[in-house]
Each structure stands twice: as C-alpha cells, then as structure tokens.
Structure 1
Amino acid sequence: MNFFSLKTFVQKFSIAASISKILTTLLIIGTGFYFLIFKNGTSHFAEPFANSNWNPGVIVTALFAGLYSYDGWDILNFGLEEIDQPRRTMPMALIFGMSGIAIIYVAMNVSYFAVLDAGTFNSSQAVAIDFANTALHQARWVMPLLVGILMVGTLNSTMFSASRYLQAVARARMIPSFISCLNPICDSPRSALFVHVCIAIAISFIGDLDNLINYVAFAQWSQRAFTMAALVWIRFRHWEVHPEKIRMPIVMPIFFCFVCTSLIVINTIDDFSSAAVGIGIILGGFIFFMLFVFEKAFPRFQWYRNLTERMNESTTKFIQIVFNVMPEFSGMEDRDIAIGKKRAIDTDGEITSRKGSQKIFPEDETLKMRSMSQKTNNSEVGIRNSKTRL
C-alpha cells in the first residue's frame, strides 16, 4: 500500500485500522470494567506490587517494553510535511493525543487485571487472547480478528513513518541519495521503503521478540538522547533552524534528554550484551554514512571523494531504473547544490556553502541599511521634483 499509493490506499486503510483499534480497546475496557463492577474483579488488586523485582536493570527493561507500546506518539513528527498548519496542529495533537492514549492504556491494563490474575498475566504469550478466552466465551473469535487488523495497521504506520524520515534524511544528504527517490506519479518513497524492509528482515534474525525489543529500544532511545541534546544545544546557541519552528519550554527537552540518557546508561550497566547489539546498529549507521556521504566524512582525501561519489551516483541510477523513481530534486542545478558540486544563493542574496547553513560572504547589515535609506531619499526627491514640474 505504501509502495503504490499513499493517498488512495494508505489513508483508507489507516482509517480502518484506527476503527479496529478503537473497537478493540472499547471491547477490552467495557468487558474489564463490567467484571470490575459486577463480578468482584477487585480481588486481583489486593497486592498489586507483590513479588516485584526492584532491580534497576529489570525496571529499565520493563520500561523499554512498556514505552514500546506508546511508540506511535512520534509518528506525527515524521509525517510533518503532510500536515497543514503544523504550528497549530502539532501542539494540539500532542496534548490531546498523548493524554487520550495514556488514559486508554491505563484503563486497558486495569481491565486486564480485573479478569486475569498476575500469574496468568505474566505467563501469557498473548494477553488479549487469554482475556477474550476468559471473559468473552463464545465471542472470543472477535478478538483475534480485531488484533490482526490492528497489527497490520501498526505495521502500516511504522512503514509510513520510517520511510518518510529515511527519505527526508537522504534529501538532506545525511545518507545515500538513492533513498531520497520518489515515484513521480504517487510520490511514494519506494527506495526508502525497500531499505526499511531490508533492515527489518535482517534485524529479525538477531533473536527472539524480547531481545529484539531491547536491541531496537536501546538504539532508538540513544537516537532520541542525541536528538534532545542537539536541540538543547541549538536553543542555547540561538540558532534559527526553520521559519515554522514550534518552541516548547526548554525544561521539556532537558528533562526528556535526562530520561533517555538514564535509560541508556542503566541498560548498558545491567545488560551489556543487549546494549552492545544496539551500539553495533548505531556504528553500522556511521559506516554507511562514511561510505556514501563523501563531502562530509573525509573531505580532504580526493580519491575517497571520487570513489564514494561514483558509488553514490551508480546506486542512485540503479534504483531509478528498478523502482521507477526520481531523486527529489527539481533539476540538475538543485541536485548539484544538494550534493555539494555548486554553491547556492539563498533568499537574502547571500552565497551559501554546500553545507547550506554556513554563509560565506555575508552582506554587511550597515551597508544594507545605508542602501535602503539612500533608495528612500532618492524616491522622495523624485516625488518632490515631479510635484514642482506639475
């Protein structure tokens, strides 16, 4: 669906998956609260923290698994280019969306424990199915159907978000250019989807589901820690990054960076093997960067620049032929600017370097103001002379 059409199939299926998710949660919450009120379901809450393990490493592993279920909160960020009026939509979506999801998830967990005891909950391979077998009886077949649709919808949203940020990063020349290619008919990031699927298949052979969650969670929370640290650095240096930026109180990224760093450090100390795999995933990204992003990795070695440039261009041409896509550039001039072969002139008339952010010959603000003042005076003199002639 993501490969052939984003607007025709993906949007409609996302609506169907969202309806399935709402029906599943309402069914679980309604049944659980019925048991809680009318079937004496409060007996399972007598000792909620009995036999708990307070080891910090175990708590972090549990947080990785728990936060993994909340992971859809960042999908909106990756699809930002598809949103109209993001400065108005994003804060509202974050506030109401996160609050609503938190309330629903807490209500679902209360419903689970109203029907299942802690021992059954811990030993269960599929909690929702065991919940349906215990509470729904003859209607238990509904739960696997709804969960199946829900999981396909989750897969769809994950592929949408992953392909979008891969395509955006490739467009910014941080990863190979062929990942930025879009289909000219449906604007589908086919090459980014292909890369995402290949990475997912490769990682699936590493271990079981619990280990995979730990591996991916470590890499993901490391990425978020670096991102938050970079955001804090940008805020303190007062860099202008985008005219449509959304500013939040500085305490929020600082606190989130602290949380991410704490999760990473504790997990590394307690379970270094899982952390080592996550570190390996991150190092693989650095190697990929060094192989293809020639003008930023080792700019002083000309032979290296020539080799990696040929690799980058040949892979882009091959992907264009295979997937019927084009790089997201409007012309060869924009392409040369993006890959560093040509310098661009920005909207202020200032020449920029191939990195795009550094201004090589900035215009003096004093001279600019004098020029504007002189133009204004000349205009006033011209108006007075025309009035005199009249």
Structure 2
Amino acid sequence: MWVSTCLSYPAVLAIQAISFGEYIITGLDSWITVDEKYRFMAYRLVGFSMLWPLMFLNFFSLKKVAGAFQIVATAVKLIVASVIIFTGMYHILFKHDTKNFENSFKGSDWNAGNLVLGVYSGLFAYNGWDVLNFGAEEIENPRRTMPIAAISGITISAIVFILMNVSYFSVLTVEDFKNSPAVAVTFAERTLGDFHYAIPFLISLLLIGSMNTTIFACSRYMYSGANQSVMPTPLRLIHYTSRSPRLAVFAEVLIAICLSFIGNLDQIISYMSFALWSQRTCTQAGFIYFKLTGKIDNKDSFVVPIFVPITFFLICIALLVIPITQNYHVAIYGLSMTAGGALIYLLFIYPKTLPNFLYKINDKLVKFAQLIFNAVIDKFEVLEEYIEEASVLKLKF
C-alpha cells in the first residue's frame, strides 16, 4: 500500500499532468514557440496549473461536481477516439494506405531489457482493470458484476487501442511515431485539415478527466489505508458534509508534483511500471498460496482456474527479472520504494505499541490538519461532536 500511494498512483497522476502540459503546448506551437530547453519545465508547470484546480474540485462532493465533469470528459474521450479510428479506417479502406504495414518490424530492437521497457509503456495504457475492487463495497452483486466489468472493460479497451494504432499507422511511419511529441496531433495534422488545431485541446480535456479519476481513486486508496491503521491517522480526515478525504487528496497531488521531476515521461512510466508489477507479483504469490492452502472462503469470491494466476505470476516474474539484469536503473528506484515501504511497515505498523512521543506528534498533526482542511475523523460514534466543533471554525471552502 505504501508503494501504491507513494509511487504507483502518484506517478500515474504525474504522467497524466505532464502529458496534459505537452498537448497544450503542442497545440499552441502554431502561435507560440517554446524553446526546447524550457519545454521540460513548461510541460510540468502547465500540468500543475490544471492539477491544483482538480484537487480543489475533489475537495467537494463527487456526485455534485466531480462526477458531472467526469461524464463530460468521458464523452470527449469517446469522440476523439472515434474521430481517429474512422479517419484511419477511411485511409485504409478507401485510399488503400497500407504501405506502412509492410515490413512493420524491420529494424526492431530485440534486446530483452528494451523489450520489457516497451512492454511497460504498452501495458500502461491498459492500467485500470485492477482498481475495480476499489468500489466493490458499493456493488450489489460483486461475484457476478466484477468479472463482467473486468472482462468487458479490458476487451473494449483492447479493441479501441488496437484500432487507434492501426489508424495511426495508416498515415504515420515508425519514425514519425518515434519523433512525434504528440502522436495524435501529428496524425491530425496530416489527415484532418484545419480541424487538427482542435485535437490537442480535445485530448487535453480527455486527460483532465483521467487526472480527475486518478485523484479520486488514489486518494480513496490512501484514505482506506489510514482507516486500517496502515497509513498515518491524519489521512483519515474527511470533510463532514462532502465526505471528501481532503488531506489524502492533497497528499497524493503533492507527491505527484514531486515525482514529476524524477525524469522524463518514459523514465517515470518505467519506474512506476516496475513498482506496479512488483506489487502484482507479491499479490499473485499470496493469492496462489491462499488458493492452494484452501484459505479463501469469502462467499462473494469467484472461482479462477489455478493455471490463470500461475501464468500471470510467471509473466510478472519475467517483467521484473529482465530489467534488473539488463537495465538496473529502472529497478533501483522501484526496489528502493518497495524496501522503504517494508521498512516503514516494520518500524511503525507491525509493532503493537510505539514510543509515546510518536503518539503526541500524531495527535498534533491531526489537530493541525483539522484546522487547515476543515475536516473530521471518520468515526460515526464521535462524528456529531466533531461536526459541532468544526462548524464553529467557519472555515468552509
């Protein structure tokens, strides 16, 4: 959980913010030129300029504000994907632009380490299927709904992504792909005429929706960990009317901003992916152990053939071992975060009691965070008391 909340999910948010800045600046290139040496910082500053408003958006009720915005962002996402797919299919079926599919793998780099890093980037697009369980408590029949949601979601995403990439290659060469800062923009410039000016901004709107979703998911994950006493107590604070875990939202955004400076986009994806797959490896090892020993007795669980988790476990091992042996820079950061999470667990979570001064620090942090974020500890037996106290502060946003 420490690796997820301090690396994996904030890194995803950082990637989305940087991509947002990249598309905005690319869209403005026709009118404003940003020198290449300033682009690294410019991408991040533009991304942060959207990240902070989204953070405040998530301080309020999801249903009233963030949820409505997410519907609009999803609609834009479908429109952009449809435009790219139909344009590409038109070039393939009617203009017969298929020459880029001839000798598609010519000049490929078959080095195992580089292949795994490429797989990391490819699999990053399919991330999200493993967060379905975040909302399991709100699902009426998870045993039936969860497998359907996972299988249908992955299938639809795979079909859409494959069609989009086929559409791209109907117009762009491999070199165009490698040299383009924003592939969708380059594709639009060659196929959509003057409408291509709108594409980077539509994709930016799409990324706003993705950032909004990531902030919601990772902050709730951190908040859940605090409720289970795995994360610091102040992260359990919620606003007493919107029920938003404001400190968790703020913490995830702050960590994402810090992580955005550890490297370029590809490096951040590699660091995040290594940490993510190390988590999945441990999770699968635990799942296989419990399945073989018959310790899974949850009535809502659904049966998975044993060869499925074993196959997935072996894939996870391969995706971890190869980078360690051939591209150790990627592994160092991910392993450091994993070791740091294990150390924190052994020092602060595993012991039944801690030194008294740590409890005093914890209490002071809780009180300070309550004042700053106008929030209360999510405990039903004392909720009314905290609501009365918080209302006196008059610190509503």
Which band: TM-score by shorter chain?
0.7 to 0.9
CA distance in 2 between counterparts of 1:183 and 1:53 reads 52
1:292 touches 1:308 (CA, 8 Å); kept in 2?
Answer: no
- What letter corresponds to residue 116 of structure 1 in structure 2? L
Provide the residue aligned with 1:312 in structure 2. 362
CA distance in 1 between counterparts of 2:144 and 2:70 reads 23
* Correspondence list, 1:241-320, <5 A: 242-290=298-346, 292-293=348-349, 296=350, 298-299=351-352, 304-320=354-370
SS at match of 1:159: helix
1:64 touches 1:213 (CA, 8 Å); kept in 2?
Answer: yes
CA distance in 2 between counterparts of 1:235 and 1:305 reads 38
Does residue 322 in structure 1 map to residue 372 in structure 2? Answer: yes
Structure 1 segments unaligned to the other structure (5+ residues) = 333-390
Q: How far does residue 111 in structure 1 lie from its aligned partner after superposition?
A: 0.3
* Correspondence list, 1:1-390, <5 A: 1-240=57-296, 242-290=298-346, 292-293=348-349, 296=350, 298-299=351-352, 304-331=354-381
1:36 touches 1:42 (CA, 8 Å); kept in 2?
Answer: yes
Change (3 A) 1:253 1:181: farther
- What letter corresponds to residue 100 of structure 1 in structure 2? I
Q: Which runs of 4+ in 1 moved over 6 A?
A: none
Change (3 A) 1:244 1:187: farther
- What letter corresponds to residue 358 of structure 2 in structure 1? T
1:176 touches 1:292 (CA, 8 Å); kept in 2?
Answer: no
Change (3 A) 1:69 1:288: same
RMSD of equivalent CA atoms: 2.0
- Normalising by structure 2, what TM-score? 0.78
Q: Which has the higher contact order (CA 8 A, sep 6+)?
A: 2
The structure having more radius of gyration, on CA atoms, is 1
Aligned residues with identical type, % of pairs? 38
- Number of residue pairs the alignment of both structures matches: 327
Provide the residue aligned with 2:39 in structure 1. none
SS at match of 1:239: coil
Question: 1:30-53 CA deviation, whole Å, 9 max, x = no partner?
Answer: 000100111221111111111011
- What letter corresponds to residue 279 of structure 2 in structure 1? Q
CA distance in 1 between counterparts of 2:253 and 2:296 reads 35
Change (3 A) 1:311 1:69: same
CA distance in 2 between counterparts of 1:201 and 1:10 reads 21
CA distance in 2 between counterparts of 1:311 and 1:56 reads 48
- Normalising by structure 1, what TM-score? 0.79
1:175 touches 1:292 (CA, 8 Å); kept in 2?
Answer: no
SS at match of 2:377: coil
Question: 1:106-144 CA deviation, whole Å, 9 max, x = no partner?
Answer: 111100000111111121111000000011111112311
Structure 2 segments unaligned to the other structure (5+ residues) = 1-56, 383-397
Change (3 A) 1:230 1:53: same
CA distance in 2 between counterparts of 1:241 and 1:273 reads 41
CA distance in 2 between counterparts of 1:243 and 1:183 reads 34
Q: How far does residue 195 in structure 1 lie from its aligned partner after superposition?
A: 1.6
